[in-house]
């Protein structure tokens, strides 16, 4: 397998311009002759589908929800970064680029990140033109705030509902194209197979989740924008339906999977309350702008109400350890610090796995009204879930699985190792290295969909002769459909005793324990023994009532769990092979005396991309070396 990143040469400031000029163009009259499938309608998928249709391509779009507006992107709270420098505080494209490369702990591609920072400014312009109601100052100008890992205010936000508003903007653009007949939307359709002919992506097989009907769609190119695999941990901040199925089918058909072990554990989520827990709720990182994080200095104080612990007995551990970034230290650093204090026995709450996020100082300084204006809906959400009032008592928070930096490997054009298969948004691996900075996922999803794929896919299609699509009864199409049906029949036919959720929860416990915030060789090896056992149990003992020919939520869930049981294994394998600590991947064997991550640039300054070699065979690890010509490799410090 060849990993050709196709990074343009020359100075980084010019690469994207030059590349766009070098890309071949599709004649406008020919565009309608090409059909493109966009799987996913989140920020990446909806923006891509709308834009490609505006350009004149024939587009079909797929989502598992009942409307494109409900994609998981809707839940993003805090904001979106852009190098506008509206605050005149020293921001620039170069600084956003620099912060992102550093934040990713030098494990992302420089050229991709630079392009991301460049188009970030266009995104804000586009969204405002669409009517996205970003927060404004009294003078009518756009407001900004700062986010973890940055010392400038470059984050644009719409109350605590930024993802919702951005997605509605993209959704409305998409609906406009649907209304014009330029995009055909397939809601409640789940992609279950990729059709590959002679090594080139030619279509997908989907299951209609209402009728159970399996059908194929053939096309000239396929874009996956199906989101991340964070639900491999069972408990995560992702929506319940988020899954790895589409990406995993592509992996099995030859698309390399890059850096699966790079997962992000978000520091500020509402702690687990019991075994019934079905998901975890994020409290936006923006809260760290005004909230101070602490635990009691003494173990004995942990059971007391916060109000009875005097100031001098509180340990504001982030401010203590990272005086210059303080409560705004990046996510990986903050999460690990929370784990550490809880491991020391200083955690709070009924389970002892929690820390305080305290607003009393900010309320005193700015007044409750100002705080309400900034975070009102988050406070409300917190109170609804916990029955505690955060204006009066500090929030209790703990880290949870949130985002996956790893994903399908793509080149500079966002094309996977399967020609004709493009991957956008969280589903690809490209821009965040080993740790994503806050407010950068929304930026990347929209960059990919609005401003990158519309150009790069043209470069690919210009080399595909119009009218050469395979026919719907091509043997490859039939074979793919049969594979889907066989899998469904197999699942339904097991007739065991346990529910799909049972296996998912078991997998989640293993992943959290051995491949979560801290990882080590013994633990990962153990996980690699346990996961195949759970998988075997699953295929023997799962119970799925009903049939494949109807709306069957147990079947949907079982299909996803079956894939997570394989994804989890690859994650552990990748984590085992990456013998260094970087970003969200913390190998306990590689840490400094103060417990900070210790990279090994000599041996691991590369992307690891895994190639599937058949069922039961060990996947092969390929390497794409990373070069840092602009930002010099340095130890990340937030002290």
Partner 1 sequence: MEKHLNLTLQVWRQKDAMSEGEFVEYQAKHISTEMSFLEMLDVVNEEIIRKGEDPIAFDHDCREGICGMCSMVINGRPHGPKERTTTCQLHMRSFDDGDTITIEPWRAKPFPVIRDLIVDRGAFDRIIASGGFISVPTGAPQDANALPVSKQNSDLAMDAAACIGCGACVAACPNASAMLFLSAKVSHLGYLPQGQPERYGRVRNMVSQMDAEAFGTCTNHGECEAACPKGITLETIARMNRDYIKASLTYRPEIASGGAG
Instruction: End-to-end CA distance of the chain: give it in Å, rounded.
Output: 41
Most distant CA atoms of the chain, gap in Å: 75
Residue 277: contacted member of partner 1, ligand FAD, none (CB under 5 to 8 Å, by partner type): partner 1
Q: How far is the CB of 77 from partner 1 (least distance, A)?
A: 9
Residue 22, φ and ψ in degrees, nearest 5: -75, -25
Task: Report the residue number, 212 or 518, with the smaller CB distance to partner 1.
Answer: 212
Residue 584 contacts ligand FAD per CB under 6 A: no
* Beta-strand relationship, 221-224 and 214-218: unpaired
CA distance 154 to 88: 10
Helix (H, G, I), strand (E, B) or coil at 65: coil
Residue 100 contacts ligand FAD per CB under 6 A: no
Residue 40: contacted member of partner 1, ligand FAD, none (CB under 5 to 8 Å, by partner type): ligand FAD
Residue 385: contacted member of ligand FAD, partner 1, none (CB under 5 to 8 Å, by partner type): partner 1
CA distance 375 to 78: 10
> Which listed residue (403, 422, 564, 586) binds ligand FAD by CB under 6 A?
403
> Which listed residue (62, 97, 317, 460) binds ligand FAD by CB under 6 A?
62
Q: How far is the CB of 632 from partner 1 (least distance, A)?
A: 33
Residue 43: contacted member of ligand FAD, partner 1, none (CB under 5 to 8 Å, by partner type): ligand FAD
- Burial class from Cβ neighbours inside 10 Å (0-12, 13-18, 19+) for residue 466 reads middle
Q: For residue 281, give Cα distances in angstroms to 294, 363, 427.
A: 20, 23, 21
> Which listed residue (425, 500, 548, 568) binds ligand FAD by CB under 6 A?
425
Residue 66: contacted member of ligand FAD, partner 1, none (CB under 5 to 8 Å, by partner type): partner 1
Taking contact as CB under 6 A, which single stretch among the options 49-57, 71-79, 254-262, 270-278 is the one that binds ligand FAD? 71-79
Q: Which residue has the tokens 């190119």?
A: 221
Read off the tokens for 606. 């590369």
Helix (H, G, I), strand (E, B) or coil at 523: helix
Task: Report the residue number, 291 or 523, with the smaller CB distance to ligand FAD.
Answer: 291
Residue 64 contacts ligand FAD per CB under 6 A: yes
CA distance 540 to 498: 10
Q: Is the separation of the CB atoms in 432 and 388 below 8 Å?
A: no
Measured in whole angstroms, the distance separating CA 461 from the mean position of its chain's CA atoms is 28
Q: Is the separation of the CB atoms in 163 and 39 below 8 Å?
A: no
Read off the tokens for 400. 């949870």
Task: Report the residue number, 180 or 486, with the smaller CB distance to partner 1.
Answer: 180
CA distance 40 to 61: 7
Taking contact as CB under 6 A, which single stretch among the options 50-58, 68-76, 107-115, 391-399 is the one that binds ligand FAD? 68-76
CA distance 569 to 522: 15
Exactly one of 331, 396, 599, 636 is catalytic; name it: 331
Identify residues 172-211 at the interface with ligand FAD (CB under 6 A).
190-191
Residue 559 contacts ligand FAD per CB under 6 A: no
451: DSSP letter = I
Residue 243 contacts ligand FAD per CB under 6 A: yes
Please work out, in degrees rounded to the nearest 5, the angle formed at the alpha carbon of residue 436 by the alpha carbons of 612 and 351.
95
Taking contact as CB under 6 A, which single stretch among the options 326-334, 375-383, 421-429, 502-510 is the one that binds ligand FAD? 421-429
447: DSSP letter = I
Q: How far is the CB of 418 from ligand FAD (least distance, A)?
A: 17
Residue 42 contacts ligand FAD per CB under 6 A: yes
x/- site string to ligand FAD, residues 443 to 462, per CB under 6 A? --x-----------------
Task: Specify whether 331 is catalytic.
Answer: yes
Binding site for ligand FAD (CB under 6 A): 39-45, 62-65, 71-73, 75-80, 162-163, 190-191, 225-227, 237-238, 242-243, 245-246, 282, 402-403, 425-427, 439-442, 445
Q: Which residue numbers are catalytic?
A: 331
């Amino acid at each position: 397998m060849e990993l050709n990143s196709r990074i343009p040469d020359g100075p980084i400031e010019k690469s994207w311009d030059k590349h766009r000029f070098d890309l071949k163009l599709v004649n406008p009259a020919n565009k309608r002759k090409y059909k493109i499938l966009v799987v996913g309608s989140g920020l990446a998928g909806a923006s891509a589908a709308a834009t490609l249709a505006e350009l004149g391509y024939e587009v079909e779009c797929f989502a598992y929800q009942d409307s494109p507006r409900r994609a998981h992107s809707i839940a993003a709270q805090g904001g979106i970064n852009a190098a506008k420098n509206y605050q005149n505080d020293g921001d620039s494209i170069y600084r956003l680029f620099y912060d992102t490369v550093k934040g990713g702990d030098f494990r992302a591609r420089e050229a991709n990140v630079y392009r991301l920072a460049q188009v970030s400014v266009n995104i804000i312009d586009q969204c405002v033109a669409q009517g996205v109601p970003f927060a404004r100052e009294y003078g009518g100008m756009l407001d900004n705030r700062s986010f973890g890992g940055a010392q400038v205010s470059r984050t644009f936000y719409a109350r605590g509902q930024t993802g919702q508003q951005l997605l509605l903007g993209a959704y409305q653009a998409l609906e406009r194209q649907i209304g014009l007949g330029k995009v055909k939307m397939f809601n409640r359709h789940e992609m279950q197979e990729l059709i590959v002919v002679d090594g080139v992506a030619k279509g997908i097989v989907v299951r209609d989740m209402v009728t159970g009907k399996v059908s194929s769609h053939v096309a000239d190119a396929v874009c996956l924008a199906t989101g991340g695999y964070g639900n491999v941990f069972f408990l995560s901040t992702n929506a319940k339906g988020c899954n790895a199925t589409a990406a995993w089918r592509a992996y099995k058909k030859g698309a390399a999977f890059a850096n699966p072990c790079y997962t992000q554990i978000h520091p500020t989520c509402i702690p687990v309350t019991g075994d019934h827990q079905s998901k975890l709720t994020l409290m936006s990182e923006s809260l760290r702008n005004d909230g101070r994080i602490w635990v009691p200095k003494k173990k004995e104080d942990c059971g007391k109400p916060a109000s009875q612990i005097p100031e001098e007995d509180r340990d504001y551990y982030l401010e203590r350890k990272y005086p210059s970034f303080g409560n705004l230290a990046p996510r990986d650093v903050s999460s690990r610090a929370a784990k550490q204090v809880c491991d020391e026995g200083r955690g709070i709450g009924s389970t002892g796995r929690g820390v305080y996020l305290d607003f009393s100082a900010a309320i005193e300084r700015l007044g409750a009204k100002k705080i309400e204006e900034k975070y009102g809906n988050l406070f409300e959400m917190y109170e609804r879930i916990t029955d505690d009032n955060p204006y009066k008592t500090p929030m209790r928070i703990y880290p949870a699985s949130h985002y996956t930096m790893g994903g399908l490997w793509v080149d500079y054009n966002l094309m996977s190792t399967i020609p004709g298969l493009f991957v956008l948004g969280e589903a690809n691996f490209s821009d965040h290295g080993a740790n994503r900075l806050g407010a950068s996922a929304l930026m990347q999803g929209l960059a990919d969909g609005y401003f990158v794929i519309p150009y790069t896919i043209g470069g690919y299609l210009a080399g595909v002769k119009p009218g050469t699509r395979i026919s719907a009864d091509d043997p490859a199409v039939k074979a793919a459909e049969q594979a889907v049906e066989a899998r469904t029949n197999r699942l339904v036919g097991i007739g065991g005793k346990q529910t799909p959720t049972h296996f998912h929860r078991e997998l989640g416990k293993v992943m959290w324990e051995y491949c979560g915030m801290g990882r080590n060789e013994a633990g990962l090896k153990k996980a690699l023994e346990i996961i195949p056992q759970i998988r075997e149990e699953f295929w023997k003992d799962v119970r799925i009532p009903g049939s494949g020919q109807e709306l069957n939520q147990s079947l949907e869930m079982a299909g996803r769990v079956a894939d997570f049981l394989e994804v989890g294994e690859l994650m552990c394998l990748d984590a085992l092979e990456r013998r260094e600590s970087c970003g969200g991947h913390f190998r306990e064997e590689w840490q400094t005396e103060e417990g900070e991550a210790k990279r090994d640039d000599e041996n691991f300054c590369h992307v690891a991309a895994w190639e599937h070699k058949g069922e039961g065979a060990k996947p092969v690890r390929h390497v794409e070396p990373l070069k840092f010509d602009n930002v010099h490799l340095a130890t990340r410090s937030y002290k």
